[in-house]
Amino acid sequence: PSEPPAPAVPEDNKEETEIVRRACHYVVNLRYFEMSILLVIAASSIALAAEDPVATSSHWNKVLRYFDYVFTGVFTFEMIIKMIDQGLLLHDGSYFRDLWNMLDFVVVVGALVAFALTNNKGRDIKTIKSLRVLRVLRPLKTIKRLPKLKAVFDCVVTSLKNVFNILIVYKLFMFIFAVIAVQLFKGKFFYCTDSSKDTEKDCQGYYIDYGKDKKEVKRREWKRHEFHYDNVIWALLTLFTVSTGEGWPQVLQHSVDVTEEDRGPSHGNRMEMSIFYVIYFVVFPFFFVNIFVALIIITFQEQGDKMMEECSLEKNERACIDFAISAKPLTRYMPQNRHTFQYRLWHFVVSPSFEYTVLAMIALNTIVLMMKYYSAPPAYEAVLKHLNTAFTVLFSVECILKILAFGFLNYFRDTWNIFDFITVLGSITEIVVDLQVKNKKCIFMVK
């Protein structure tokens, strides 16, 4: 005998399921649904930051807890309707086949479990307190909903492999510098609280500390600076502190004051030690940081190229089209009549020889400005002042020639010309004010 046929699913149940799924799909794809969820995520993040971590049972925290119930309810509603709309797991595009949906699920379920296992006094069970920490992941929910943020996040994740390789090279170089630092500075970062004593043997007894308002008798102590290079571990920690740019001037000062092992410092005793930090800053904060930035930029460009693979145009062709769309015509003034004095002057001003001459004058003026130093002889300062005046005159002549060649309005249409004009005007004002001050001094001396 043949097997009995399987019971058929009633058509009414199918229609009801389809209606519910269509309703969920309609809600999920509403125009302002994602924007509303983003606002709830922002409000939830603000409430999370506003909680008092010390007085957990305060009235303020109780109010925020009610808001947390509302936020968790909204996220639970969002999760359920998306599960109904997309399905759970068995087909492509289902809810649990997206890592961002799994993150939402973990956050929501963790919050629900934490609420469910809260005792009557409003205090969480110790084993469940860790579940409430999952709430800090709520701001990450914004990444999926903003395409630009998601592109940046994907870029960072994609570049992690290459960043890890660069990090290994970074640590190897830092280890080399740490070994060098140990050889240079080991045992040299000790000091006595009484600066007149240089060794631990002499750093005994008491001394008088003369403060601003009173003098105080203190005991001499032989100490070591907080950051030092007595072993490789501490050298790595000190170099990492230096690379952050916070507090490293003190480390530099201690390094240039070193004398010998187990002896106190002497101010500016080894200034050449600063070369070590110059090289370290060139290699680490500048070189490696730029490598990290360049790697992320290259990865971001590669991600953009992958998104454009379906386009029939090549990368260079797309770049040419983008340039042609965004390019703006460059305008340059030129006198119409070639037989006039203005055209000849314009031809002279825009010639390469004139531009190179002006560039040489700028370089020489920069050198003259660098030659100033403290307590220079009066004759030396007078020569530099006269040279500066001569350069001001030359730059003023350049400005006048360009105004005559381009015309007043055409000259000031270029922002660089405006910058040159303001610079020349400031230099002339400085010279005039200086002359007035000198004349007043001379009149006062005569009187």
CA-CA distance, 154 to 143, in Å (whole number)?
10
Distance CA 279, CA 283 (A): 6
Q: Where is average pLDDT lowest: 63-72, 136-145, 248-257, 426-435?
A: 136-145
- Least-confidence region, from 138-152, 217-231, 363-377: 138-152
CA-to-CA distance for 297 and 310, rounded, in angstroms? Answer: 22
- pLDDT computed for residue 293 by the predictor: 78
Whole-angstrom distance, CA of residue 96 vs CA of residue 11? 28
- Class of 341-446 per CATH? mainly alpha
Between CA 252 and CA 368 the distance in angstroms is 31
Calculate the average pLDDT of the chain: 79
pLDDT in tens, 244-282: 877 788 888 888 988 888 888 888 888 888 888 888 887
pLDDT band at 86 (very low <50, low <70, confident <90, very high): confident
Domain at 146-188+229-328: CATH code = 1.10.287
In this prediction, residue 9 carries a pLDDT of 46
Report pLDDT digits (tens) over 150-176: 777 777 777 777 778 888 888 888 898
Does the pLDDT of residue 32 top 50, yes or no?
yes
Higher pLDDT, 151 or 4: 151
Quote the CA–CA distance of 356 and 347 in Å, as a whole number: 14
pLDDT for residue 215: 80
pLDDT beyond 70 at 347: yes
CB 192 within 8 A of CB 221: yes
Rounded to the nearest angstrom, the gap between the alpha carbon of residue 439 and the centroid of all alpha carbons in its chain is: 51
Which pLDDT band holds residue 306 (cuts at 50, 70, 90)?
Answer: low
Taking residue 164's Cβ as centre, other Cβ atoms within 10 Å add up to 9
Instruction: Report which of residues 300 and 235 the model is more confident about.
Output: 235
Highest CATH level, class, for 11-145: mainly alpha
- Return the pLDDT at 327: 65
**405: closest CA among 327, 351, 330, 325?**
351
* % of the chain beyond a pLDDT of 70: 79
For 27-47, what is the mean pLDDT? 78
The pLDDT, as a whole number, for residue 393 is 93
Task: For the chain, give every domain's residue range.
Answer: 11-145, 146-188+229-328, 190-224, 341-446
- 215 DSSP β-pair partners: 210
- Which pLDDT does position 121 carry in this prediction? 47
Tell me the C-alpha to C-alpha distance, in Å, between residue 349 and each of 127, 354, 408.
80, 6, 15
Instruction: Give the orientation angle of helix 341-349 with respect to helix 378-406, to 10 degrees.
Output: 130
Cβ atoms 188, 259 nearer than 8 A? yes
Number of alpha helices (DSSP H) and beta strands (DSSP E) in the chain: 18, 4
Report the C-alpha gap between 400 and 421 in whole angstroms. Answer: 9
Per-residue pLDDT averaged across 212-227, rounded?
Answer: 84
Residue 96 near residue 70, CB atoms below 8 Å: no
Gyration radius from the chain CA atoms: 37
Q: What whole-number distance in Å separates Cα of residue 16 and Cα of residue 336?
A: 82
For residue 310, name the pLDDT band (cuts at 50, 70, 90): low
Q: How confident is the model at residue 1 (pLDDT cuts 50, 70, 90)?
A: very low
Q: Cα(114)–Cα(107) distance, rounded to whole angstroms?
A: 11
- Assign 3-class secondary structure to 282-333: HHHHHHHHHHHHHHHHHHHHHHHHHHCCCCCCCHHHHHHHHHHHHCCCCCCC
**Does the structure show a pLDDT above 80 at 444?**
no
Through-space distance between the first and last CA atoms of the chain, rounded to whole angstroms: 138
* 11-145 and 341-446 in the same fold: yes
